[in-house]
Structure 1
Amino acid sequence: MQELQINIIPGSSLEAERNETGKVLHYYNTTYYIDRQGDIKLRYRKVNLWGPEKQAVSAGHEHIVIDTEEFGKIGLLICWDLAFPEAFRELVKLGARYIFIPTLWRSPDCGEKGLAYNKQSEHIFINSTIATRAFEQNACIVFCNTGGPDADVYFGCSQITLPFKGPIVKFNGKEQVVVTEVELGSILEDAEEVWNLREELASPNWYPAKQ
């Protein structure tokens, strides 16, 4: 932001949409890309809502990518969006190279039934799904989850994950700050040469195939 001369994607917050008289029409779970001058360059309203969230929050309606001078094209998602490959596809079709996902995801979220099967259920969900998204979407996935004093609840799994490499940094449990330099180089281009994912997405005959 302006004082610190940093770009920032904060965790999501509740955003009210009001009419001309100030009456609240909708609440959205929203995150932002804020540049070094303190300007909001991208606002994303969460499209895929977690079950209980639907009782209080409206779903957003679109996925947007911003083309930054420093990093190229980036897109934003929030938390439970991770479970929907379609959300990632929309961003990749718009050219996103980085996809950032601020998150509040806890071990008990799988419920008593899930915990009865495996207390590490959500850890497995997060780690396997992020790796899959990075490979299947040919993108750099930056996932930032809540840490806290109770590692059995606030398990983290924050990570930066790339195709071919998998996670290049990952940490769990307690709150911490990690400074990492990400140099994509030609990795996304090399992955595209191998798998042609972005070319396929851009094709007018993209799945389901037109007859």
Structure 2
Amino acid sequence: MSTKIKVAVIQLYSKPLDINGNFAKACDFVHQAAEQGAQLVVLPEYHLNGYLPEDPVYIEQAAQYQEYLDRYCALARELGICLVPGTIVERHPATTQSAIFGSRTLSSEHGDYHLFNTSYFISHEGEILGFYRKKNLWRTERPHQSRGQEKHSAISTPLGKVGILICWDLAFPEAFRQLVRDGADIVIVPACWTLDESSPYGLKLNPDYETLVLNSMVTSRCFENTCAVVFANAGGPSDTFVGLSQVAMPFVGPVNRICDSSEGVFLADVDMEILKQSELNYLVREDMASKDWHY
């Protein structure tokens, strides 16, 4: 039995608010990946309609999330692949309980509601095996979205134990630690990491600092956790989008990647033997499982 899992990463440019057009394009790329033998296909964050949280159309589209989630489940079942369809922004009615948990309540003509940025793991049989709602919101997301309240937990899948994080979560090693301590071997990170909110101060010091940040963090997270990191970023014009989607492994670093912000799909083998040997070398999981684990 092969120890390798064939993962496809799709770097996609989405037209804002064109939810049907973006869905159709995403499906085309997923079909391409399946035809190339992918067992797991991953799309980027906000790929269905971009991010325009103050636009009434955007708010209306967020209420349609179940329709597109169901269609992605049907696609995974049709193609016989596991699928992480990036993230889907969901509108849910506000409740007393959600207010207690600190969710941000927004209002419209349809009443009070919450927006969550959610990523799902769908099996090759079209079943939802788990989901994750983004906890670590970027500063411009905080006025519009609610944080996920569930703990970071690994998802049992036909490919092994998988964890999901979203974009800015990448900057929080604690999130990876929780997933790995729960048994995750692969951590999937859909993202929409762009340049339009880069630090002017940072750009003066290093005009390419966003590239340095992403490449450094993806590689660091795979080494320090003896796990594979599947980073699927949005693509598009290089004056706004960073791209750099990649799959990274301990010992190796990036196994395959897109080196710019262009659209595309690539495949990479996640070799479980590499993860096993890296743990034998670094003993990260063994340390975390010990009774005297000091963190």
1:34-57 CA-to-partner distances (Å, cap 9, x unmatched) read 122222211100111111111111
Is the deviation greater in 122-131 or in 6-15?
6-15
Aligned to 1:3: 78
Aligned to 1:53: 141
RMSD: 1.7
1:109-136 CA-to-partner distances (Å, cap 9, x unmatched) read 3232222222211110000011100000
Aligned to 1:67: 156
1:158-206 CA-to-partner distances (Å, cap 9, x unmatched) read 00000001101011221011133x1414211211111110011112322
**Structure 1 residue 5 displacement after superposition:** 2.0
**Structure 1 residue 24 displacement after superposition:** 4.8
Alpha-carbon distance in 1 for matches of 2:281, 2:82: 32
Aligned to 1:160: 247
- Does structure 1 conserve the Cα–Cα contact (< 8 Å) formed by 2:234 and 2:243? yes
**Structure 1 residue 23 displacement after superposition:** 5.8
Aligned to 2:33: none
Q: Give structure 2 stretches of 5+ with no counterpart.
A: 1-75, 96-109
Alpha-carbon distance in 2 for matches of 1:51, 1:18: 23
* Partner residue of 2:227 out of 125, 132, 139: 139
- Does structure 1 conserve the Cα–Cα contact (< 8 Å) formed by 2:249 and 2:270? no
**Structure 1 residue 84 displacement after superposition:** 0.0
Alpha-carbon distance in 2 for matches of 1:176, 1:186: 28
Aligned to 2:274: 187
Give the fraction of aligned pairs with identical amino acids, expressed as a percent.
39
1:83-141 CA-to-partner distances (Å, cap 9, x unmatched) read 00000001001000000000000123323222222221111000001110000011000
- Does residue 113 (structure 1) correspond to residue 201 (structure 2)? The answer is yes
**Structure 1 residue 157 displacement after superposition:** 0.8
Is the deviation greater in 124-133 or in 35-44?
35-44
- Does structure 2 conserve the Cα–Cα contact (< 8 Å) formed by 1:109 and 1:122? no
1:57-89 CA-to-partner distances (Å, cap 9, x unmatched) read 1111221211112x1100100000000000000
For this pair of structures, how many residues does the alignment match?
204
Over 3 Å counting, the alpha-carbon distance change for 1:39 and 1:185 in structure 2 is: closer
- Does residue 93 (structure 1) correspond to residue 190 (structure 2)? The answer is no
Over 3 Å counting, the alpha-carbon distance change for 1:130 and 1:183 in structure 2 is: closer
- Does residue 175 (structure 1) correspond to residue 263 (structure 2)? The answer is yes
**Structure 1 residue 19 displacement after superposition:** 5.8
Question: TM-score by structure 2 length?
Answer: 0.65
Q: Give structure 1 stretches of 5+ with no counterpart.
A: none
SS at match of 2:130: strand
**Structure 1 residue 9 displacement after superposition:** 0.6
Aligned to 1:13: 88
- The amino acid of 2:89's aligned partner reads L
